[in-house]
Amino acid sequence: MANKSVVRLDDARFPNADTFSVRAEVELENGFVGKLGEIEEGNADVRALETPVAEDSLVLIANPAIIYDNGRQGSGLEVNYFMEAGKVVRSYNPRPTFVFGVSKEGINGTAVIGEYLVAGAGHKLAPSATLPAKGFAAKVVREDAVGGMLTINTTQTPVVYVVVEVVQN
């Protein structure tokens, strides 16, 4: 089974920034992005999460990873967590200068240090050599590999986070 995307909110300002409860009609993973939609009819606490296009402002999906079925060794790891379609999940508005890390599984393509991640096709970020005129853009700062030590009975691979600083949104 392939690993799911994982996000790391490195900036302590995230919990104090704009936080939204959103609902998407597709399966999501942490580190995915979307365009903030309209407030649901009859539920003022939840907004729609729309599929973004180039030069959209984005929200970042970062839902607490709770895995209820952890009967097998390793099945409770965050790299196995995803959110079913139609569920309400937490998202944040990444403001300029905010820093976060998203695993390589949350990016369509290969991120290059010194270049940018922007809204791509679907709910994943996409690499870009140039800064777009408007919409979300984050500069790739570095890559961090976390974990991956060999253990008895299982082989673990590290989660490689692409660490970015938001430039515009």
Backbone angles phi, psi at 90, to 5 degrees: -90, 140
- What gap in Å lies between CA 53 and CA 6, rounded to an integer? 22
Q: Considering the domain boundaries, does residue 149 fall inside one?
A: yes
In a domain, 56, yes or no: yes
Instruction: Note whether residue 118 is domain-resident.
Output: yes
Question: What is the chain's pLDDT, residue by residue, as a tens digit (169 residues)?
Answer: 578 888 888 888 888 888 999 998 998 988 899 999 999 998 899 999 999 988 889 999 998 877 666 665 555 566 676 778 899 999 999 999 999 999 999 999 999 999 999 998 789 999 999 999 999 999 999 988 877 666 555 556 788 899 999 999 9
Tokens of 36: 């903030």
Q: Which two tokens stand for residue 161?
A: 């986070």
103 falls within a domain: yes
Task: Domain of residue 45: give its range.
Answer: 7-168
**1 located within any domain:** no
Asked if residue 152 is part of any domain, the answer here is: yes
pLDDT of residue 17: 80
* 3-state DSSP helix/strand/coil % of the chain, to nearest 5: 5, 40, 55
Triad 14, 16, 18: Cα angle to 5°: 80
Q: What is the pLDDT of residue 51?
A: 92
Q: CA Rg, the chain, in Å? A: 16
Domain count, the chain: 1
Give the per-residue pLDDT at 146. Answer: 79
- Cα angle at 155 between 3 and 101, to 5 degrees? 40
Q: Closest Cα to residue 144, out of 94, 102, 82, 99?
A: 102
Single pTM value for the model: 0.86
